[in-house]
Structure 1
Amino acid sequence: MPEISRRTFGGLLGGGAVTAVAASAAAPAEAAEHPFQARTSASRTGRPNFLVILGDDLGWADLSSYGAPHIRTPHLDRLARQGVRFTDAYSGSATCSPTRFSLYTGRYPGRTAGGLAEPIANRTQGLDPRHPTLASLLKKTGYATALIGKWHCGWLPDYSPTRSGWDEFFGNHGGVLEYFSKLGQLGDHDLYEGDAEYEDLRYYTTVLTERAVEYVGRRHTAPWLLNLNFTTPHWPWLAEGDAETGAEIAARIRAAKSQAEISTALNHYDGGSVAKYTEMVESLDAAVGEVLEALRRSGQEENTVVLFASDNGGERWSYLWPLSGEKFVLQEGGIRVPTIVRWPARIDGRQVSHEPVFTPDWTATLLELAGARPDPAYPLDGTSLAGYLLRGERLAERDLFWRVRANRALRRGDWKYYQDADGDDHLYDLGADLREQADLATDRPELLAELKASWERIAAGLLPYPS
């Protein structure tokens, strides 16, 4: 295999794994095959900063660079052109908090009791503060750590980012909140700075953006990790000009007499539209653009790894074509998510990867790039992509595994084993059938049995769901 430079990743991996992005990056079809050339010189860089940005319920094709015909996301499209756009990237689960568990711990959600909730919905559940996290492991090696935005891994008094390795926290503990009043899914105020309530009645995306801009613009004396977790475009479907509608939703929440009524008010079943959802996604894109511009102004852009992804697939108004399914299920629409990584100092831009990867891989990758080690008592389930990204090393074929109460799934290469809510087993060749419509279970019974057995072996090592 020819030498591949520090800045060139995967161009000679074979199997069409990586392609260069065409000048526009306006749609996946515009990518063209391109053989990368090795480089012989490389400048050294210190340990990178990490800016990890999550959208909330953002569907796989909701960005114009992923094919959305009606949504314009110029800032995220530019980020994709400057780095690597992953076409076969997955979330750790099909809902919010389990995926966040998998990102923070680098492990399957089912390794921990809090990760069994789909999603967390009460104060008794959460991420055990004794469990090592991406933040706590980086902190041990000298990183400054901050989380801005949605935590969704437990409420005070027992759970909080500041109890799990983050030096700073500004955001909401729960899974959803009204964008103006900041009333959350338990019916109370859910905006905090550290462990103290904080009041700001402006549109939440705007508030989080300002905080993130301030953080990246600081005069840092150590490398840093910033988890920036937007709630956009999660319901209730409200844009910046919808304060009046937000006030109506807040009034319903305050008047609610049960958790079900609170959830109904927040879900805003009678609201939303494709146009409103488009407005929200485009506001997310603008917010990311502001943060990236602040990073550029700070002089830290070159040696900052930016990772952008969604916590799970989209729902209701999301553009998911050609995928089947949506949030909550393990069909492709529920777990395949837009994912972009950029590191100007070490990775060339205008690249597309078709390598199957999922959330726990990024935890392992960031730890390796920082020179941090996982806790041997809590082995990771993800595979570091550092060698793949930096040196063009092949990733060994492996199984990507998902388990939720209603579904099960496992991907190996292009093959996917899927069991639906009725307990029926399916087998799909995603290379030929991205939409999961041609069930090959009866044509390839041996392969189906093999993948199912692999799923069972992994599942046997996880905690059982409480009855």
Structure 2
Amino acid sequence: MNSFSNTLKNIFNILVFLLSFQFYSQTNTRPNVIVIYTDDQGSVDLGSYGSEDIYTPNLDRLAKMGTRFTQAYVAAPVCAPSRAALLTGKYPQNAGVTGNTSATPGSHGLPEAQYTLAELFKDNGYKTGHIGKWHLGMSEASGPNAQGFDYSFGHLRGCIDNYSHYFYWEGPNIHDLYENGKEVFYDGQYFPDLASNRALDFVEKNKNEPFFMYYAINMPHYPYQPTQKWRDYYKDVEKPRGDYGAFISTIDERIGFLIDKLKSLKLLENTIIVYQSDNGYSTEIRAFGGGGDSGPYRGAKSSLFEGGIRLPTIISWKDHLPENIVNDQFLVNIDWMPTLAKLCNLKKLAPNLDGIDMSKMLQNPNTSSPRTNAFWKYGNQWVVRKGNWKLIGYPKDTSHKGELNMESDALFLSNLGNDVSEMVNLAEKHPDVVKELIDLYLSWEHGAKNDIPKKMQKVIHLGSEANINATTPLHNKYKNLDVLLDGKRGYNDYASGQWIGQEGKNLEFIIDLKAIKKLSRISVGYMHEPGNWIFSPKSVELHFSDDGKTFGQPQKGLLPSNSSNKNKFVDLFTMSIDKKSRFLKIKIQGIGSCPKGHPGDGFPAWFFIDEIIIE
């Protein structure tokens, strides 16, 4: 009996030791970190953010376990630059990703030299994992495993069909699913479940050592493909809101799986969870024009109004950070790198970060944010914010909540402390504030004088009193031909209302000068902005006639080849002539398709023209 008792005692002591060791390993190591990044989620599309028609119990529970922010931002209104900013702690311009990256195999994205969150955690002894969407480059050097992730599973391009795992923009044969850089096939299996299972497996495999997981959920980005369970739940909600809401609940359910996993492994108290969306909801045609909600804010995806960049954001670290807090202080996603580094006591933080450590504010919610200003720059749009004052250059409202007049609204001033809607432009009332903010913007390393809107140029020419008609179909969005002869040069913004655009096709017009006139030159204003798939026209062709029926031989001018030029500019193409004529036929030819290496490679390219100046 003594021998048996001793054996039992020894077994008991071993069990106690093992349990003590496990307990010690979970409570005395640095915390695990999970950053959950959703895709194209509206500013108020969680129950905890006031949504009454979207069911999100798990995320609402996460908010109660920590802090829910009402004034948290991302550094860009579209996917790739927002993600680059998150992972580097830098503005997109300093991270080297200012727009969405190319889907072309082998094309570069996030520069290899950038130091990422994954590299920071890895250098400090963490296991690192990426699950879900990447969208930061197709080359090996810019892929997840080269950017500090020990493990990666997901798609490299911007969006996929969730069952075939084929790239949603191109096809029909662009498969996009990879595990540690190797293409893998799970035909017909639901990608959100594949990703969720990989996330749970990653936590399970690394439960005894600190880990960092970037869980980049690809929902609610189109295509809207929620599970049938949630389709049924939202069956009475009008589409596309119903399918969008079902997708949000599909996210929420999988976040619940993750929280339950952490609980079962007794890791929840030792895990920091950050939740944020990469940008506002989409109003693109592939998203059926919407589905999401920006609440009181103007703007959506691709806009620098609040609805494009002010997004649901939660941080929870149970028993370590205050719980059930609603924080209205100012932060940007670039602040997560220094903040998480401080909370986890990490060393080797990269120099020259744009982010600011917010840890004291998180630990003491009554503390003011150390961030007092921030900058944004995307395409033509730019923003400088100081305190509650926010100035936008060339604003764009993708939520279509109101009209913008680019002659008066090219500089748009708001005071977010008084009105978050940004529906009233205060620029004329506060010219001193406008000047102060412009000076602050120009002090930023990426602010430039050419970014500042100038008064619209007035041009008097022979075409000012002429009539113009199109002989080729116009794009549905750009049919106001009067802007081509109204004497106004367009702002450096294709959405300003002063431009006529065409996608993948050519344009042709006949201009009636109402009398035979001597002509010496014709000029056409045009735009080049490859970030928005806009390229300089290829050629301008002129025909002349006295009766408007019989036109002579063409005079053709070729523009400089700019298809590989990545810079944005507005220019004027001029052709010298020596003619007397009443009627002028003018044909503008575009490049047709976006060039190789461009994110839209093979898709229709745009061109935009403004004033046709006849002298």
Report if TM-score (shorter chain) is over 0.5: yes
Structure of greater Rg? 2
Per-residue deviation at 1:193? 0.8
Give the drift of 1:410.
2.1
Asked if 1:390 corresponds to 2:390, the answer is no
The answer to whether residue 38 in structure 2 is matched with residue 55 in structure 1 is: yes
Residue of structure 1 equivalent to 2:386: 412
Q: Which amino acid aligns with 1:333?
A: G
Pairing of 1:267-416 with structure 2 (within 5 A): 273-315=240-282, 316-373=290-347, 378-391=351-364, 393-416=367-390
8 A contact 2:133–2:217 mirrored in 1: yes
Question: What SS class does the counterpart of residue 212 from structure 2 fall into?
Answer: strand
Q: State the alpha-carbon separation in 2 of the partners of residues 372 and 461 from structure 1.
A: 32
User: Structure 1 pair 135/190, CA: closer, same or farther in 2 (3 Å)?
Assistant: same
What residue number does 2:199 align with?
212
Letter in 2 for 1:350: N
1:397: Cα distance to partner? 4.9
Q: Distance in 1 between matches of 2:240 and 2:135?
A: 26
Question: Is the CA contact (8 Å cut-off) linking 2:124 and 2:347 kept in structure 1?
Answer: no
Query: CA offset at residue 375 of structure 1?
Result: 5.0
2:101, 2:136 within 8 Å by CA — same for their partners in 1?
A: no
2:420 to 427, 430, 434: 434
TM-score, structure 1 length as denominator? Answer: 0.80
Q: Distance in 2 between matches of 1:224 and 1:325?
A: 36
Where relative contact order (Cα < 8 A, 6+ residues apart) is larger, the structure is: 1
Alignment partners' CA distance in 1, 2:439 and 2:100: 24
For residues 439 and 373 of structure 1, do their structure 2 counterparts lie closer, same or farther at Cα, with a shift above 3 Å needed?
A: farther
Query: Residue 15 of structure 1 corresponds to which residue in structure 2?
Result: none
Partner in structure 1 of residue 410 of structure 2: 424
Q: Which residue matches 1:118?
A: 100
Cross-structure match for 2:153: 170
- Check 1:121–1:443 CA distance in 2 against 1; reply closer, same or farther (3 A cut): farther
Q: Select between 121-130 and 227-236 the one with higher mean Cα deviation.
A: 121-130
In the other structure, the counterpart of 1:232 is 219
**Aligned twin of 2:440:** 454
Q: 1:397 to 1:233 in 2, by over 3 A?
A: closer
> Is the CA contact (8 Å cut-off) linking 1:153 and 1:160 kept in structure 2?
yes
8 Å contact from structure 1 (residues 374, 380) kept in 2: no
- For 1:148-167, what aligned pairs fall within 5 Å after superposition? 148-167=131-150
Q: Deviations over 1:9-53 (max 9, x none)?
A: xxxxxxxxxxxxxxxxxxxxxxxxxxxxxxxxxxx8531110100
Higher strand share: 2
| Alpha-carbon separation, structure 2, partners of 1:121 and 1:143 | 31
State the shift of 1:148 in Å. 0.4
SS of corresponding position for 1:307: strand
Give the CA RMSD over aligned residues.
Answer: 2.1
Task: Output the amino acid matched with 1:202.
Answer: Q
Match for 1:169: what amino acid? S
Shift of 1:199: 1.5
Give yes or no for the alignment of 1:46 onto 2:29: yes
Q: Residues 125 and 68 of structure 1: is their aligned pair in 2 closer, same or farther, counting only changes over 3 Å?
A: same
CA distance in 1, matches of 2:333, 2:114: 18
Deviation, 1:217, is 2.4
TM-score, structure 2 normalization: 0.61
Partners of 2:267 and 2:42 in 1: CA distance:
30
Flag the 1:443–1:45 CA change in 2: closer, same or farther, 3 A.
farther
SS of 1:209's partner is helix
Contact 2:330 2:371 (8 Å CA) reproduced = no
How far apart in 2 are the matches of 1:54 and 1:386?
20
Amino acid at match of 1:384: D
- Secondary structure of the structure 1 residue equivalent to 2:242: helix
8 A contact 1:97–1:120 mirrored in 2: no
Listed as ranges, the gaps of 5+ residues in structure 1 are 1-43, 243-270
CA-CA distance at 1:444 after TM superposition: 1.4
In the alignment, what sits opposite 1:182?
Answer: 165
What's the offset of the Cα at 1:223?
1.1
Conserved? CA contact 1:180–1:202, under 8 Å: yes
Structure 2 unmatched runs, 5+: 1-26, 230-237, 283-289, 396-405, 452-530, 532-565, 568-615
Q: Distance in 2 between matches of 1:222 and 1:213?
A: 15
For residues 123-178 of structure 1, give each alpha carbon's deviation from its aligned partner in whole angstroms, at most 9, with x where no partner exists: 42311222211111111111110000001100133421100101100111111111
Identity over aligned pairs, percent: 32
Change (3 A) 1:198 1:121: closer
Distance 1:233 1:456, change over 3 A: same
